[in-house]
Every structure is written in structure tokens, then in C-alpha cells.
Structure 1
Amino acid sequence: MHLAGGTVDGLRVAVVNWRDPWHPAAGGAERYAWELARRLAARGARVRYVTCRAPRRGGDGRRGERGRKRVDGVRFARMGGRFTVYPLVLAWMAARLRPFDVVIDCQNGIPFFTPLALPRRVPVFCVVHHVHDAQFGLYFPAWLARLGRFLEGPVSRWVYRRHAFVVVSPSTLRAVRDRLGWDGPTYVVPNGAVTPAPTQVDGLPERGDPELVCVTRLVPHKRTRRLLDLAEGLVARYPGMRVNIVGDGPERAALAAEVASRGLGDTVTLHGYVSEDVKTALVARADLHLSASQGEGWGLSVIEAAAHGVPTVAYDVDGLRDAVRDGVTGWLAAPDEPLTDTVERALKELDDPLRREQVADACRQWASAFDWERTTDRMARLLTAAVHRGTAATKDKRALVVDLGDGSLQVVEGPVRDLLLGGDTAVQVLRTATPLERLLGHPLPEPEDGSP
């Protein structure tokens, strides 16, 4: 078995996710699941994407699920709605005569609990983007929020006890330990990034001074109203400032009404759902990208903005503190403070052309560390090693830096590490990987002065 490449040819893989990438409410979790699914299929895996049904067309005119059952080599199985998809997926899996070789079970607040419907020998990786305990109360009545927290915590700990979690960032790794009480094996496989080249898009206004952008879903935990507070606080100092909010969601109508009532119509534009070309153009021309979210698993929009040399101002909260390197690729504000002071400080720094270029270069370099093909490499290695060993679990929670015997160094964890160390005496363990090395998936040079 060639672990360095994670050969998945012929492997039967189920990717189970709440929504498909064409769902009107699709977000980062759907992007992650789909990028993995289609790339695994391109490498020869037999991939099923199992998900719920969605409207043919959302309220914003976005097309919902595709009619085709196969896209880019991935076969789709769609069933049920927002809540009924969970029992229907379990029934569908239990009824299959030929089970999958391995399952990627994506948790969007509540996982699918697929181990209950699978033979014990089938490895399961439960993908957790971020812990939802604090968010259930924003969307559901108290009794349903309590049920959500019970399913996300104690029930998940029991159902996946013989399997493993995959998380997308150091923040989520800490959160599943501290807030969910998960003490089982957990591996880090981050998001990748795709950077479309900026294009000239007709209809956009001439660039103002300054220009800010936020790419987000308009839902409660993204706290988009704080961007209106920001605009209100800075418009007197920067009369030509523009704040472009890109994305849609259930809060759009209320936000539009508030923009009008505050008299911010000339400053704040709610673009709604736009094409990739328009989104890319709005991000690439901005001075700053913004996030007011109360917490993320990572910050995919942060990395995609950084790929264009655009830094981000966000709160120092889970996920965003990993995606934004404070003072290097952006600026982090204290969670209980308005963004106004931090944005104003960032704009003052960026007034210096040398500082602006320094930040832009750092952003592009940081974004280049994340790529969907490398993400797929890491997941593929975990999948193939788990199938070979017959389990996704491990007794050793560490990620290690190892010498593969030919002088090349690699960060390995979970079944990949166990398989390497158990079968090749030439492999030498050098040290435990740092959190940053674990995120990036490769060793970093150690400082000559011995400092961390």
C-alpha cells in the first residue's frame, strides 16, 4: 500500500452530508464534503454522496438539487428533508446488501450516527467543522436545543466510541475535547481553497475609498448586524466607504429593512447570492474582508480572500483565530467589542503602501498552504489506512513528525501512523508535531534559537 499517495482506487466510499452543494442553503460544510467526494471519485473511488432532498429552486432563485444522480463521477442518493433525512439515511444504509468500505459521516450540529446501521468492521470518520452547542438556542426552542446538545455530546460520544472524529482546525480539536467531552481519536484535515482569477465584471460601481466586503450566509450566528454598526460608526470619517455583503439567508429581508431605516443605503449593499465571477471581483478589489461571526470551524472565506492578498478583520473566536494570523494576515478583535476600532486601525496601517504590500504578500503565502488536492491526499491516506487496519480508531492521540527512512519528513497520525510504524522499521519518530504542523500537514523548520 502506498500511503504517501493514499491509493483509493476501487474503494467504496460513502460521504454522508446534510445538504448537497447545490442546496439553496449550502455553505462551507457542503463545499468540504463535495470537494472531497469528487476528488476521491477522480482517483478511482466509488463514491456515494448521501444527503437530503432540497427544493428545485430557492427563494433567491438559486437552483436547488440537480436532477442528475451522477455528477463528476459521484453518485447521489437523496432522501428526506431537514430532519427526516437522519432516520431515512440509517434505514437506507442498513438495507444495503453490500456495505461500504469506509464512511465519511459529516456532522452539521448532529451527525448521522451511521455506525448504528453498519457492520462493525466498516471504519467511520465523523467530520466535525465546529461545535454547535451555543448555536442550537439561536435556531430552536429551548427543549429542542437541549435535545440537540444531548445528541451532539453524550449520544455522539457513545455511537462513535469505536471510530474517530476528523476536525478542520485546532479550534475544533479543542472544542470537541472541552465542550463535547470527546476523548476518542481525532485527526486534523483542514479545508482547501480555490482561487479563481479576478475578472472584470460589468455593473460594479467605481472603486471607492475604502471598500470592505463580507462573504457570509445571513443567519443569526454570523451576526451580520454588527457590520451595520461598523458602517454607521465609520461613515462620517470615510464618506465614500462601501460595505459589500455577499450572500443570502433568512435574515436578508430584516437586514435590508435595517439598512434603509439607518440611512445606510449609499454605504451598505446587500448583494445576495451572486455568481462566482461577481463574488471574486468584489473580494479581490476590497481593502478588507470582514467577519462578525461568533465562531467558525475554520474560515473558508478568510482564506479565499487572503488568496487575493486581502486581509481579514474578525473576532478572536474559534476557527477565525486559526484562519487569521493576527497582525500578519489580518487583525482580530476582542469578542465582546465592536469591530469599528479594529477596522479603523487596519485601514490606517494599510494607508502605508509598504505595509499594504507586506500584508498582501503574507496573505497570499498563507492561503497557498491550503489546497483541496492536499486536503484530499490527507483524507485519502486516512481512509486507505483505516480500511487496511479495519478501524478508524487508534490508542495514540498524537500527531508525529517521522522520517520515512529516505530523509523525507512527514506528519502522520491515527491509522496512517499506526500502519507506518507497525510495518516499516526504517521509519523513525522524530517528535510530536506542533498544532501548526498538524494543521498544515507537514513539518516546519525548527527555529535555530530553540524558541517556539
Structure 2
Amino acid sequence: MKIAVVNWRDPWHPLAGGAETFAWEMARRFVGAGHQVCFVTARAPGQGRGESVDGVRIVRMGGVFTVYPLVLCWLLLRRGRFDVVLDCQNGIPFFTPWVVRRRTRVLCVVHHVHDRQFGLHLPRWLAAFGRFLEGPAARWTYRRHASVAVSPSTVRAMRERLGWDGPVHIVPNGVSIARPGDVVKSPAPRLVCLGRLVAHKRVHLLLDAVAELRERWPDLAVDIIGRGPEEERLRARLPEGVTLHGYLPEEEKARVVERAWVHVSASQGEGWGLSVLESAALGVPTVAFDVDGLRDAVRHGETGWLLPEGTELAKGVAAALTELDQTYAVKCRAWADRFSWDRSAQRLTALMLGQDVEPGWEAW
């Protein structure tokens, strides 16, 4: 097949996150299976307009907002070239059904519903417009097309909050992380927070909890790994014992995560929470709030702990550190081993070919 993967950013964009990892891991495997893939995305400052990586042709154009009309124009001029378009929704989709041939198969890939997050990042009027595009406009545009979600939470949110009534298939994230193997666990309690530094991740809640936790564990340390628009603000108020690393190469990131006792996510909601799976693969359980996506990625009492929204994070983390034993590491690794980018790509390929796939989430 000739496939266009249309995604807001590529993995080398300075604001790339889990959605970019998903799109790229799928694209690489499509090429490995013999398909032709074009990854169409925005262009960050300093990035080239195009290149080829791992056999995937990358085409970059536009910025945060201009990427949408530019990509539509680009596809319109090439509407006869592609058999399949993966239209990745990162807040709003690209509305590609409007510009491709009717016989071109379009799959809308949704990581999570953004309606409640628009207000954190945009002025009120623009947030309202974003909710309209994500809801009624997208629902009508993709009504004849199948959709892909990465978790049961996302399917439920699409149905209940967006009114999505078309077929939605679950294709989970896989996991791919370096495993150094010679890392010694920190002798003192150590927390790690992994992910983009953006408002809805609420990393500030972890910083607020540190002082109380260090009253009980004076040697407690916290590592924060990631970059994003909140980095400068967070760095200006780091409590004692906290290190904000910014971006780390994969092997170094894995070493820092594996040293930790517990991974903490204070996010308002996720599609899945790729950082949870990456931490689990290294035997590190997660403390998170019981919100969309994270309630799927964390198995409460087995691979981590889910806190009701409104719970004081310090109390939740303290309870986890008290309860923690070696069984969590074993169950974390077993849980992460159930997920594979290869298997997810095979499932997505079947959907692109119009084949039936097993509906059960439990199989994962």
C-alpha cells in the first residue's frame, strides 16, 4: 500500500510526545512490511523540509496551526497517490476525507479527547473553536470512516463526550525502551516523573508534594525527565532534592528511570500514558490519578496505584512507598511484556486492509 501518515509533529520535534512515538513506530513497521510510507507533519525551527529516515519519507510544512491547511493542500494535489491515510488527531484531526478520493481508506487515530484541555492552552474563544472542531465537525467528517483509539478510556470519551457513533477499534501502544541491565536501585527513596512538561501534566503537583515527603524521608530525591513549555517555570521553583534533567538520550533516560522506586504521573488525563508502560518495562510501578488513559495503563494494586482525583499527591505517594515490595517490579515487567509495537502495527495494517480484527481489549 501507499500510506500517508499525517501527524502534528514528528519524533524530532522539540515538543514531540507519545503520539509522535506511536505514529513513527507504526510508520517504520509499515515500511518493514513492504509498504510505501510518507510521514507528513509540521516543521519546527531548524528542521528541514524533507528527508528519509528508516525508509520513511518525511515531509514537513507549517507550524502549530498552519500545518493543517498546508497539509490539506498538499494532499489535495496528490489525492490519487495514496491508498490509505492515517489521520492522527492531536486535539483536532486534519479532516483529510475532504481532500482524498472516496475510495481512499481513512483511519482517524485518536489518542485522547482534548475538550477539557483546550482551556489550559488557548484563549477562551479559540478553546471553544477547538472543541467544535474536535466534536461536531470531526464527528460529521469521519462518520463513514473507521477510527482507532489507543485505550478503552479514549473509546468511552469519544462516545460520551464527542458523541462519536462510528466504529472505533483499539490499537494500544507498544513499548520500546533501552534496558541497561547494570543499574543499581537507589538506596534511598527516589521518584521519577517522565513526560512532556506541559500544563495538563500537572508536574507542579509533584513539586508541591516534595517538602511533605522529605519530612518523612529526608533523603528522598526526585528526577524529572522531559522538556516543554512549562520547563522554565518549573525550573524556577525546584525544591531541594529535585533534579530537572530536560531531554535525555534513551539509554541515559532508562538508567534514571530504573534507579527510581516509583514513577509518578499527576496528569489530568491521557490517551494511555506511554511513560507508564516504559517505566513498567524497567520494573518501576506508577502512582497516578484515576483519570482517562492512566486507569488503563496502571493496574491498581499490581503495577501501581490509582488515586481518586482530589487526593493529596503527597499522601498517595507516601502510601505507595510504604506498601512497595518486589512483587510490583515483577508484575510491572510482566504487564509491559504484553505490549508490542509489532503486534500493534499488524493490527493497524489489518484495519487498513479492511480486514476484521478481534475486538477484545483483554487479549492485550
Task: Classify 1:366/1:233 alpha carbon distance in 2 versus 1 (closer, same or farther; 3 Å).
Answer: same
* Aligned residue number for residue 72 of structure 2: 90
Distance across 2 between alignment mates of 1:382 and 1:435: 16
User: 1:341: how far off?
Assistant: 1.6
Is the Cα–Cα contact under 8 Å of residues 126 and 164 in structure 1 kept in the other structure?
yes
* Aligned residue number for residue 356 of structure 2: 416
Distance across 1 between alignment mates of 2:22 and 2:360: 24
Task: Classify 1:97/1:343 alpha carbon distance in 2 versus 1 (closer, same or farther; 3 Å).
Answer: closer
CA RMSD for the aligned pairs? 1.7
1:75-114 → structure 2 map (5 Å cutoff): 75-96=57-78, 98-114=80-96
User: 1:302: how far off?
Assistant: 0.4
Distance across 2 between alignment mates of 1:54 and 1:436: 39
Does residue 221 of structure 2 align to residue 242 of structure 1?
yes
Identity across the alignment (%): 57
Does residue 125 of structure 2 align to residue 185 of structure 1?
no
1:120-269 → structure 2 map (5 Å cutoff): 120-198=102-180, 207-259=186-238, 264-265=239-240, 267-269=241-243
For residues 422-442 of structure 1, the C-alpha deviation after alignment (integer angstroms, 9 at most, x for no partner) is xxxxxxxxxx955433xx1xx
User: 1:55: how far off?
Assistant: 1.4
For residues 35-90 of structure 1, the C-alpha deviation after alignment (integer angstroms, 9 at most, x for no partner) is 0001101110000001111112xxxxxxxx36751111111111111111111111
1:264-283 → structure 2 map (5 Å cutoff): 264-265=239-240, 267-283=241-257
Aligned equivalent of 2:30, options 24, 40, 45:
40
* Aligned residue number for residue 308 of structure 2: 334
Distance across 2 between alignment mates of 1:111 and 1:321: 25
User: 1:368: how far off?
Assistant: 0.3
User: 1:195: how far off?
Assistant: 2.9
- SS across alignment from 1:127: strand
Distance across 1 between alignment mates of 2:27 and 2:361: 26
- SS across alignment from 2:362: helix
Distance across 1 between alignment mates of 2:176 and 2:76: 36
* Aligned residue number for residue 397 of structure 1: none
User: 1:200: how far off?
Assistant: 6.1
User: 1:199: how far off?
Assistant: 6.0
Distance across 2 between alignment mates of 1:85 and 1:50: 9
Aligned equivalent of 1:346, options 313, 317, 320:
320
Aligned equivalent of 1:69, options 51, 57, 61:
51
User: 1:357: how far off?
Assistant: 2.1
Task: Classify 1:76/1:433 alpha carbon distance in 2 versus 1 (closer, same or farther; 3 Å).
Answer: closer
Is the Cα–Cα contact under 8 Å of residues 230 and 339 in structure 1 kept in the other structure?
yes
For residues 399-440 of structure 1, the C-alpha deviation after alignment (integer angstroms, 9 at most, x for no partner) is xxxxxxxxxxxxxxxx415xxxxxxxxxxxxxx955433xx1
Aligned equivalent of 2:334, options 365, 373, 378:
365
Task: Classify 1:292/1:158 alpha carbon distance in 2 versus 1 (closer, same or farther; 3 Å).
Answer: same
User: 1:306: how far off?
Assistant: 0.5
* Aligned residue number for residue 59 of structure 1: none
Task: Classify 1:383/1:219 alpha carbon distance in 2 versus 1 (closer, same or farther; 3 Å).
Answer: same
Of the structure 1 ranges 169-178 and 191-200, higher mean CA displacement relative to structure 2 is found in 191-200
User: 1:232: how far off?
Assistant: 1.4
User: 1:198: how far off?
Assistant: 2.0
User: 1:332: how far off?
Assistant: 0.7
Q: TM-score under structure 1 normalisation?
A: 0.78
Distance across 1 between alignment mates of 2:13 and 2:35: 24
* Aligned residue number for residue 3 of structure 2: 13
- SS across alignment from 1:340: helix
User: 1:98: how far off?
Assistant: 2.8
User: 1:223: how far off?
Assistant: 0.3
1:380-391 → structure 2 map (5 Å cutoff): 380-385=349-354
Structure 1 unaligned spans of 5+: 1-10, 57-64, 351-355, 386-414, 418-431, 441-452
Give the aligned residue type for 1:296. Answer: E
Give the aligned residue type for 2:362. Answer: L
* Aligned residue number for residue 290 of structure 1: 264
Larger Rg: 1
How many residue pairs were aligned?
364
Distance across 2 between alignment mates of 1:286 and 1:370: 22
Distance across 1 between alignment mates of 2:359 and 2:181: 40
Is the Cα–Cα contact under 8 Å of residues 208 and 241 in structure 1 kept in the other structure?
no
* Aligned residue number for residue 392 of structure 1: none
Task: Classify 1:116/1:235 alpha carbon distance in 2 versus 1 (closer, same or farther; 3 Å).
Answer: same
Distance across 1 between alignment mates of 2:117 and 2:168: 22
User: 1:325: how far off?
Assistant: 0.1
Distance across 1 between alignment mates of 2:346 and 2:308: 36
